[in-house]
Amino acid sequence: MSIFNEHYFELKNGFLFAEVTRRVEEYKKQHPDRKVISLGVGDVTRPLPEVCIQAMHKAVDELSRSETFRGYGPEQGYAFLRQAIVDNEFAPLGVNIGIDEVFISEGAISDCGNIVDLFDQDCVIGIPDPAYPVYMDSNVMNGRAKNINILPINQDNGFVPQIPEKHLDVVYLCYPNNPTGLTMNREQLSKWVEYALREKCVILYDSAYVSYIRHEGIPHSIFEIEGAEKCAIEFRSFSKTAGFTGVRCGYTVVPKELTFNSEDGRTISLNYNWNRRQCTKFNGTSYISQRAAAAIYSEEGQRQVRENVDCYMKNADLIRETLKKYGYDVLGGEDAPYIWLRTPDGMGSWDFFDKMLNELSIVTTPGSGFGQSGEGFVRLSSFGRPEDCEEAMKRIEQWKY
């Protein structure tokens, strides 16, 4: 026997962004004179909202004085932040979440990755394709490579993952979607909740881009759908909402009504066991980051967050409309910071990536990096600086493709 968890060998080469970086660095070396504009990785560029800056300075000062110093915080996060989330993110939607159903973490990616610990190794997992690679890789690492069912998102199904005919134990959904930039309406999402309730399946709902929803009728939380509290876990993040990619803060909602029966008939609460997991393998999120997160829920904080989101969505509008105008086939970018661009003439994702890099000095993300159904697409991110986006679009206008 090998001492090593050999399931790691089953991981596909997942270094999508590393490969993008490698090619970009190579290109820059060969063309030091050209200005490379990145519409690739989904990282924010705008400084943090002023309310967060103030809150962090205050929190740092508290840690400098004996009387106000704080050490370990609750593993689940401070009540001040959990309450603010409940009151501001869910109550306005008519969704009743208790603060002991909200778990603060240092980022949604960790929760999305670690949540698989709660499930049996033989669980049957549904994963959309294209999707954020963490869903697949974290399950493969846990020994479920053979139990994964791919749910394609493509032309044939109108880019909406179809309700499967077979049983799934766990399914991932991400809306607004990364990488396609598309959303699900209430009816579509309701069908998934119905499926999950019927099949006793858990929906892992990644809602990291919720702040980018602008149109009516698009659910802001899966818990807006009746019955979802019995079948869903929702992951959220301050990364894209408030520019926290370097500050690190996210949260996960695990409803208390989400229970199962064990083989011997005991009731299993995922809330109880996620709490147990976090209290064992996690020791709480930085106090400073939690104060920064709570600050966005003031009136002024909401205004500043909205300003950031609006700026990125203005980028999205520009990218989407420019591409459309010049005859490209684009999806998304209306209620999400990503545009899903079909490569012209059926080119491969990496080929088109290389072409845009070489001819326009624009970096995108090859769709095939998100899964097989992403082949023939590239993802464009709207998180760049407006002036860079504008310049990139000018290059596209003049492109003799």
Pairing of strands 362-363, 338-342: unpaired
The only residue of 99, 141, 197, 311 in contact with its own copies, by rule CB under 8 A: 141
The only residue of 10, 25, 26, 61 in contact with its own copies, by rule CB under 8 A: 61
**Judged by CB, which is closer to its own copies: 189, or 270?**
270
3-class SS of residue 110: helix
Tokens for 182, please give them. Answer: 């598309």
**Judged by CB, which is closer to its own copies: 60, or 91?**
60
Binding flag, residue 277, its own copies (CB under 8 A): yes
Q: Which residue's entry shows tokens 């479920």?
A: 144
User: Residue 233: which of 318, 291, 173 has the closest Cα?
Assistant: 173
Binding flag, residue 109, its own copies (CB under 8 A): yes
Binding flag, residue 316, its own copies (CB under 8 A): no
**Judged by CB, which is closer to its own copies: 15, or 401?**
15
**Judged by CB, which is closer to its own copies: 291, or 355?**
291
Residues of this chain, 182-221, that bind its own copies according to CB under 8 A = 200, 202
Written as one letter, the residue type at 11 is: L
Shortest separation between residue 247's beta carbon and its own copies, angstroms: 6
Q: Which helix (H) or strand (E) holds 103?
A: strand 102-105
Binding flag, residue 379, its own copies (CB under 8 A): no
Q: Using the rule CB under 8 A, give the single segment among 38-46, 182-190, 227-235, 293-301 that binds its own copies.
A: 38-46
**Judged by CB, which is closer to its own copies: 65, or 215?**
65
Q: Using the rule CB under 8 A, give the single segment among 154-162, 178-186, 273-281, 392-400 that binds its own copies.
A: 273-281
Binding flag, residue 12, its own copies (CB under 8 A): no
Tokens for 167, please give them. Answer: 């049983």
Cβ–Cβ under 8 Å, residues 97 and 119: no
Site string for its own copies, 320-359 (x = CB under 8 A): ----------------------------------------
Rounded-to-integer distance, Cα 65 and Cα 82, Å: 25
Shortest separation between residue 363's beta carbon and its own copies, angstroms: 15
Binding flag, residue 14, its own copies (CB under 8 A): yes
Helices (H), 172-212: 186-199
Number of residues located near its own copies, criterion CB under 8 A = 84
- Give the count of alpha carbons within 13 A of 7, CB side only: 14
Strands of the 330-332 sheet, one edge to the other: 330-332, 338-342, 377-381, 365-366
Cβ–Cβ under 8 Å, residues 197 and 229: no
**Judged by CB, which is closer to its own copies: 160, or 168?**
168
**Judged by CB, which is closer to its own copies: 137, or 224?**
137
Shortest separation between residue 51's beta carbon and its own copies, angstroms: 11
Shortest separation between residue 207's beta carbon and its own copies, angstroms: 17
Tokens for 41, please give them. Answer: 């990785």
Written as one letter, the residue type at 290 is: Q
User: Residue 332: which of 220, 234, 250, 209 has the closest Cα?
Assistant: 209
Site string for its own copies, 160-179 (x = CB under 8 A): ---------xx---------
Q: Using the rule CB under 8 A, give the single segment among 180-188, 260-268, 321-329, 341-349 that binds its own copies.
A: 260-268
Q: Is 148 left (phi over 0), alpha (psi -120 to 50) or beta?
A: beta
The only residue of 31, 34, 186, 281 in contact with its own copies, by rule CB under 8 A: 281
Q: Using the rule CB under 8 A, give the single segment among 87-95, 113-121, 297-305, 332-340 that binds its own copies.
A: 113-121
Query: What b/e readout covers 260-294, taking b as 16+ CB neighbours within 10 angstroms?
Result: eeeeeeeeebbbeebbebbeeebebbbbbbbbbbb
Residues of this chain, 40-59, that bind its own copies according to CB under 8 A = 41, 43-48, 50, 53, 56-57
Q: Which helix (H) or strand (E) holds 30?
A: helix 16-30
Written as one letter, the residue type at 124 is: V
The only residue of 80, 99, 100, 113 in contact with its own copies, by rule CB under 8 A: 113
**Judged by CB, which is closer to its own copies: 137, or 351?**
137
Site string for its own copies, 69-108 (x = CB under 8 A): xxxxx--------------------------------xx-
Cβ partners under 8 Å of residue 395, min gap 6: 37, 360, 361, 362
Tokens for 350, please give them. Answer: 């990496």
